[in-house]
Amino acid sequence: MFSNMIIGRYMPGDSWIHRLDARTKLVLSIAFIFVVFFANNVIGYALAGAFTLLAIMMTGLGVGVFLRGLRPLVLLMLITTLLQLFFVQTGDVLVHWAFIKITTDGVINSVIVFVRFMLIIMFSTILTLTTQPLAVADGMESLLKPFKKVGLPVSELALMLSIALRFVPTLMDEAQGIMNAQRARGVRFNEGSLMARIKSFVPLLIPLFVNAIKRAIELGDAMEARGYRGGDQRTKYRVLTWHTRDTIAIIGFVIFTVALIATRWMM
């Protein structure tokens, strides 16, 4: 399960998306989360899906990589969808049994939430798959630099971001290793009732948290031993540079946004 997790993993490549500035990809990823909510009909979501598919194809990694990465998140997506299905009570009633009532608005809202969730995850995953964690941290630090004037610890936030992105794949691999070891000892994670399955994950979480805390302590000691000091005094080996392709990417996203807003009046 955890071996399919691609969030936080970087896959080397030389595609057009790989060569974009980290700041460009950060801005576009954040903007897409808001822009996708402009879609309110089939044409709008089709356009958003086509734009996401185009971006995925331009990474050169293939759609299959992104679909495999969605598997660990399917349960979360289904739970979110079911909440919309059962708790939206407006519209025509389709099914009414005991306290369960499914309406047309509930079905429509659940489909919309599922599609939005999937588009946002897939588009955001492009950032981590095509950008090195240090570049993401540098890009975030550069974008937040104006907030230093109000006392925001930008360098520390960038450090935490880079560490988090760096160790997400490590924790996922470690969790998969612990699961395999426990399966070899007779633990069955996919058998029994829902509560039995939840309880079977408790022996997985304890060693995972212990190892994560141990690794954090060791990392802090290593940084202190090497004299790490954050802030403006540090120089950077890799300097972020804005290129023509970054301007083209921004212009293309603006055109997509305008087209998506225009679809709101097509149906």
44 Cβ partners below 8 Å, 6+ apart? 38, 260, 263, 264
Q: What ranges in the chain are assigned the alpha helix state H?
A: 22-35, 42-58, 63-70, 74-87, 104-130, 133-144, 154-184, 194-200, 202-225, 244-262
249 Cβ partners below 8 Å, 6+ apart? 20, 24, 28
Task: Specify the pLDDT at position 32.
Answer: 94
Residue 61 has pLDDT above 70, yes or no: yes
Task: Specify the pLDDT at position 172.
Answer: 76
Segment 33-49, tens digit of pLDDT: 999 999 888 899 999 99
- Which tokens in the block code for residue 205? 């979480």
**% of the chain at pLDDT higher than 70:** 85
Residue 72 has pLDDT above 70, yes or no: no
Domain residue spans of the chain: 1-131+239-267, 136-234
Q: Which residue has the higher pLDDT, 43 or 165?
A: 43
- Residue 152 binned pLDDT confidence (cut-offs 50, 70, 90): confident
- Residue 169 binned pLDDT confidence (cut-offs 50, 70, 90): confident
Rounded Cα–Cα distance for residues 26 and 253 (Å):
13
Q: Which residue has the tokens 């941290």?
A: 137
- Burial track 30-49 (b if 16+ CB lie within 10 A, e otherwise): ebbeebbebbeeebbbebbb
Cα 205–chain centre separation: 22
Which of 127-131, 149-153, 167-171: highest mean pLDDT?
Answer: 127-131
Residue 186 has pLDDT above 70, yes or no: yes
Helix, strand, coil % (nearest 5) of the chain? 70, 5, 25
**% of the chain at pLDDT higher than 90:** 17
Rounded Cα–Cα distance for residues 116 and 122 (Å):
10
Task: Specify the pLDDT at position 5.
Answer: 57
Task: Specify the pLDDT at position 246.
Answer: 92
User: How many Å is the maximal CA-CA distance in the chain?
Assistant: 66
Q: Which residue has the higher pLDDT, 105 or 215?
A: 215
43 Cβ partners below 8 Å, 6+ apart? 263, 266, 267
- Which tokens in the block code for residue 191? 């058998």
Residue 131 has pLDDT above 60, yes or no: yes
Q: What are phi and psi of 41, to 5 degrees?
A: -150, 180
- Residue 28 binned pLDDT confidence (cut-offs 50, 70, 90): very high
Q: Which residue has the tokens 């979360």?
A: 76
Whole-number average pLDDT of the chain? 80
Segment 83-119, tens digit of pLDDT: 777 777 776 777 767 667 777 777 788 888 888 888 8
Q: Quick one: CA dihedral 207, 210, 216, 217, positive or negative?
A: negative
